Amino acid sequence: MNERLQLGIIGAGRIGKLHAQNIMHLIPEAKIKILADILAEQDQIKNWAKDLGIPRITTDYRELLTDPEIGAVVICSSTDTHADLIIAAARAGKHIFCEKPIDLSAAKIKTALQAVKEANVKLQIGFNRRFDHNHRSVKEAVLAGKIGEPQLIQITSRDPAPPPLEYVKVSGGLFLDMTIHDFDMARFLAGSEVVAVYAAGGVLVDPAIGAAGDIDTAVVTLKFANGAIGVINNSRQAAYGYDQRVEVFGSKGSVLDRNDTPSTAVISTAAGVVGEKPRYFFLERYNESFVNEMKAFVAAVLTGQATPVGGFDGLQSVLIARAALKSLAENRPVKIEEID
Ligand SMILES: NC(=O)c1ccc[n+]([C@@H]2O[C@H](COP(=O)([O-])OP(=O)(O)OC[C@H]3O[C@@H](n4cnc5c(N)ncnc54)[C@H](O)[C@@H]3O)[C@@H](O)[C@H]2O)c1
């Protein structure tokens, strides 16, 4: 790969800044030519983009789409913009990396995926956890047949602290905002599609989250097409930090991973044995996975190969999340085929 891919990036918030920094500092095969953000005239964005060496910034994303040198766009704006931006980028013939979720509505996602198909461009969805060194090792052990046929998938996914209430109100709720990563991880590890979901949820962390119409604690049971069963447990607040562990149990054994810690030092005294807490949150814990997923996208565009996680995956995770919402509301197991 001698060619350098010119990218346009849309959205310079939390995740857009992270991807932009990774691309400019750590991915020599790609370069950002234009950044678009509706707040691009604010000094904090202007100065940050200039320091990073991004040549042009604009408030209008259409500038990226009409620039013939730009081969692909990275969509990092708020969720409600993703589907329309995917459609516009596909029609402009640009390959697309889009943050999760594609949209909160399955119908809108299907329309966006149709535009991608018609334009024959590549689409990768930001399920970064598939590129995490721990979870990937678990997946590789399963693929190598070390634990036999997967029978149980267990995912623990707990945040260190809830997001701001303003974020909660527009996020689509716990299942579509947070558990969506776990739904994708469950499919990834099981190597099979989820066919039915049963969800229990509660407000145990902050009553204000309940007042905003959301939950902060949940257990979701999944049934897979291959007969395997999965359990995901979520909390918006773990007192000891970001808790991210998975296990696959199978006919020949089990494979599990542990949390990453800043160091592996363990202090043993008469009072007890103490190690470090997990790395604080997703920026610290999953940073390497964000670099890996973007490298994989750039490589797919430059070599013409398929992206490792695409539109179908983006749709499935939203269908599972919607089934979980329905299950919670109706207090019964819900089949994925009931969701449209
Ligand atoms: N993969 C992950 O782990 C992960 C982590 C965080 C966020 N996300 C996803 O990334 C997306 C952005 O989240 P965030 O936390 O960075 O949000 P944010 O609010 O910090 O940033 C969004 C940015 O997009 C800009 N924007 C909004 N509409 C725009 C438009 N039409 N054109 C150009 N710019 C526009 C806003 O001005 C803002 O700067 C969300 O969909 C979220 O679900 C994914």
The phi, psi pair for 56, rounded to 5°, reads -140, 135
Q: Which of 9, 10, 15, 103 to mutate to test the pocket of ligand 1 (most atoms within 8 A of CB)?
A: 15
Atom of ligand 1 nearest to the CA of 80: 41
Q: Which of 10, 39, 75, 76 to mutate to test the pocket of ligand 1 (most atoms within 8 A of CB)?
A: 76
What residue's CA is closest to ligand 1, atom 33? 37
CA of 156 to the centre of ligand 1 (A): 25
CA of 166 to the centre of ligand 1 (A): 14
What residue's CA is closest to ligand 1, atom 17? 13
- In terms of C-beta density within 10 A (0-12 exposed, 13-18 middle, 19 or more buried), how is residue 46 classed? middle
| DSSP letters for 57-70 | EES-THHHHH-TT-
Q: What angle do CA 126, 129, 134 make, to 5 degrees?
A: 155
CA of 266 to the centre of ligand 1 (A): 38
pLDDT tens per residue, range 93-109: 999 999 999 999 999 99
CA of 31 to the centre of ligand 1 (A): 20
CA of 234 to the centre of ligand 1 (A): 23
Residue in 284, 204, 285 with CA at minimum distance from that of residue 237: 204
pTM: 0.95
* 41-45, 97-101, 168-172: segment of lowest average pLDDT: 168-172
Residue type, 90: A
CA of 330 to the centre of ligand 1 (A): 32
Interacting residues of 61 by C-beta distance below 8 A, sequence separation 6+: 8, 10, 36, 85, 88
What residue's CA is closest to ligand 1, atom 5? 15
CA of 282 to the centre of ligand 1 (A): 15
Residue 171 confidence (pLDDT) above 90:
no
Residues in contact with ligand 1 by the CB-under-6-Å rule are: 10-16, 36-39, 61, 76-79, 81, 99-100, 126, 128, 282
Residue 2 is predicted with a pLDDT of: 52
CA–CA dist 131, 136 (Å, integer): 6
Residue 250 confidence (pLDDT) above 50:
yes
Residue 1 confidence (pLDDT) above 50:
no
Element (H, E) at 84: helix 82-91
Atom of ligand 1 nearest to the CA of 16: 16
Residue 3 confidence (pLDDT) above 90:
no
Tokens encoding 109: 């996602």
In the structure, what pLDDT confidence band is assigned to residue 311 with cuts at 50, 70 and 90?
A: very high
Angle, helices 82-91 vs 106-119, to 10°: value is 10
CA–CA dist 100, 72 (Å, integer): 17
CA of 253 to the centre of ligand 1 (A): 40
pLDDT tens per residue, range 208-220: 999 999 999 999 9
Residue 265 is predicted with a pLDDT of: 97
